[in-house]
Structure 1
Amino acid sequence: MDNTTYIALSRIDALSRALDVTANNLANANVDGFKASKELFSQYLVKQKDAQGVPGSKEESFSQDQATYQDHLQGELRQTGNMTDFAINNEGYFAVRTTQGVRLTRNGQFHRRMDGTIVDGSGNPLLDTNGRNLVIQPQEDILSVASDGTISTQDGAIGSIGLVTVDNVNTLVPEGSYLLRPTTQTHPVANREIRQGMLESSNVNTVAETTRLIEIQREHDLIFQLVQTESTRRTNAIDKIATDPSS
């Protein structure tokens, strides 16, 4: 296998990763709070064999899949009218308690269990500013949330929704479609702004992602065709040498 094929295969490998990432973005385009992933590729140069030190020697460019990162740009806020739907405007994350520990999320679609605990769609309790489960007594049926996260019922203020963040959002590790695992210390958000009765949509641009998917597929097919053509050429050359050693 010559270097042309190796270069092509390195690009196919990178495109396969890009295809997976783009397809996952489209699959979660309707998940509230979902953050699109982006691929980070680079090119690395390799000198041709025996070309070192030769003036004008050529270098070959290989594709390298370096990393995948999340785009934490805020999604569009939309009105729902549900009193346990909360959207964060600007920075910060809701903290929820899971069986694996505390996780962060921008998905503010919560509901109240029979015991009054505010939980997300997977049953994970929403935490207050002190890291405790937020509980609203069943007899308290009037719920309002101020922009700073203070929760009030007909009996007055009962607590405050906790909003936290990290110094570097790129250290957050995605788990599932909307949870994030912090790998560094979290800290409270200074300027809290919560909108009750609203949700943050995913930040996936479906038109751009669909176009990207088509572009990746076309490039993948073209390069794969190149690899097949090169393989056929080499096979024919070997067959010719085998049948006619004098050629």
Structure 2
Amino acid sequence: MDTTSYLALSRIDTLTRALDVTANNLANTNTDGFKGSRVLFSDYLSKQHNAHGLGSEKTLNYNQDKATYRDNLQGELRTTGNPLDLAINGRGYFAVRTQQGVRLTRDGKFQYSNDGTIVDSAGNPLLDNQNRNITLDPQDIPLRLSVASDGTISTDRGRVGSINLVTVDNTNTLKAEGDHLFRPTTPLRAVDTKEIRQGMLEASNVNPVAATTEMVKIQREYDLNFQLLQKDFTRRLNALDKITSEPTA
């Protein structure tokens, strides 16, 4: 395999990763609280000395998939009118308790479980500022539920609890689990200023038009590089056929 094939393969490899990431973003354009990912590419420069036997120097440019990072830009807040729909305006994450431990989420679509505990769509309990499950007395559930901007939960009978909002020093250290949960790998800390909006949800921050355009662009570039690889293979195969078919002296 010669240089042309290696260059094309390096680009195809990075484009494959970019296609996977973009497809996942596009599939989650309607997932509340979803944060899109981006692929960071870099170039690996290889200097070829005495290129073509002429004593010159040639630089080859190989592509590398250096990293994938999360776009933490806030999604649009949309009104739903459901008192258990909560959106975070600004920094922070809701903390929920899963079987694997505490996880973070920006998806604020909550509901009541059978025992009155406020849970997410997967049944994970929402935690208060003491890391306890937030559970309402069955007599409180029919009453009007109010969630203040600072996370205080109240009914007509009084205060019920306070929602915990947390964050980490570097949000890119959070490990995604599924479409809306994140596993913290560094210590959690409380958000300085809470701003929770009741009756609203944060939409995915992925722009479907931009994601579709990016996917088409990646697919076209992938096809071009694959065609280049095929042409280079055909060229080398033809050259080999000519060499082997030449009569010996």
TM-score bin, normalised by smaller chain: over 0.9
Deviation at 1:142, TM superposition (A): 2.0
- Uncovered stretches (5+) of structure 2, i.e. residues with no partner: none
Q: Determine which of 168, 182, 186 is the counterpart of 2:170.
A: 168
Query: TM-score, structure 1 length as denominator?
Result: 0.96
User: Which residue number corresponds to residue 139 of structure 1?
Assistant: 139
1:83, 1:146 → 2: CA distance?
A: 11
Structure 1, gaps ≥5 residues long = none
How far does residue 122 in structure 1 lie from its aligned partner after superposition? 0.3
- Is 2:109–2:120's contact at 8 Å kept on the other side of the alignment? yes
For 1:165, give the aligned amino acid: T
User: Relative to structure 1, is the Cα distance of residues 56 and 244 closer, same or farther in structure 2, using a 3 angstrom cutoff?
Assistant: closer
Query: Matched residues in 2 for 1:98 and 1:208: separation?
Result: 34
Aligned-partner Cα distance in 1 for 2:128–2:55: 67
CA distance in 1, matches of 2:56, 2:50: 13
Aligned-pair distance for 1:158? 1.4
- Measured after TM superposition, the shift of residue 50 of structure 1 is 5.3
Output the amino acid matched with 1:97. Answer: R
CA distance in 2, matches of 1:5, 1:37: 29
Query: Displaced runs of 4+ in structure 1, greater than 4 A?
Result: none
Distance 2:24 2:49 in 1: 40
Identity score, percent = 64
Please name the residue that 1:215 is paired with: 217
Task: Tell me the CA shift for residue 17 of structure 1.
Answer: 0.4
Report the counterpart of residue 196 of structure 2 in structure 1: 194
Distance 1:49 1:58 in 2: 7
Deviation at 1:56, TM superposition (A): 5.0
Distance 2:210 2:48 in 1: 38
Which segment drifts farther, 191-200 or 134-143? Answer: 134-143
The alpha carbon displacement at 1:55 in A equals 7.3
Judged with a 3 Å threshold, the aligned counterparts in structure 2 of structure 1 residues 55 and 184 are, in CA distance, closer, same or farther, namely farther
| Equivalenced residues, count | 245
Q: TM-score, normalised by structure 2?
A: 0.96
- Structure 2 CA distance, aligned partners of 1:198 and 1:231? 56
Structure-2 residue corresponding to 1:117: 117
Q: RMSD over aligned Cα, in angstroms?
A: 1.4
Q: Who is 2:28 aligned against?
A: 28
